[in-house]
Amino acid sequence: MQIQVCVNDVLMNEVLAVTHLKSKEEAIEQGLKLLLQVGQQRKIQNQREQSESKIKSPRQRQRYSLAELLNGTTPEIMTDLNAETAWARDGEAVGRELA
């Protein structure tokens, strides 16, 4: 496609000097490619920011005090519980048990 463009001569001369491009057409084409690349990068960055905002932080676990955990227990319940879990306390440690 061929079009006529009015470009600042000082700016064009600086671009040609810095980039060592051979023609004004080449400088304009490279500039358009660069603008396209920047636009695509912005689009990707926006998509990334939107997807990161959708990621929710994990909920913090509920912490209970010993009193809350034992609330409503009776000596009979504790006796039954100890009897049911005696097998777990018998024998020697085999893993990462706390002493």
Q: Give the model confidence (pLDDT) of 9-53 as tens digits.
A: 999 999 999 999 999 999 999 999 999 999 999 999 998 888 877
What total of structural domains would you count in the chain? 1
Q: Which domain holds residue 38?
A: 9-54
The answer to whether residue 40 sits within a structural domain is yes
Work out the percent of the chain whose per-residue pLDDT is above 70: 93
The answer to whether residue 66 sits within a structural domain is no
What tokens does 97 get? 């048990």
Question: Which residue from 4, 3, 23 is spatially nearest to 13, judged by alpha carbons?
Answer: 23
Instruction: Supply the pTM of this predicted model.
Output: 0.49
Amino acid at 50: Q
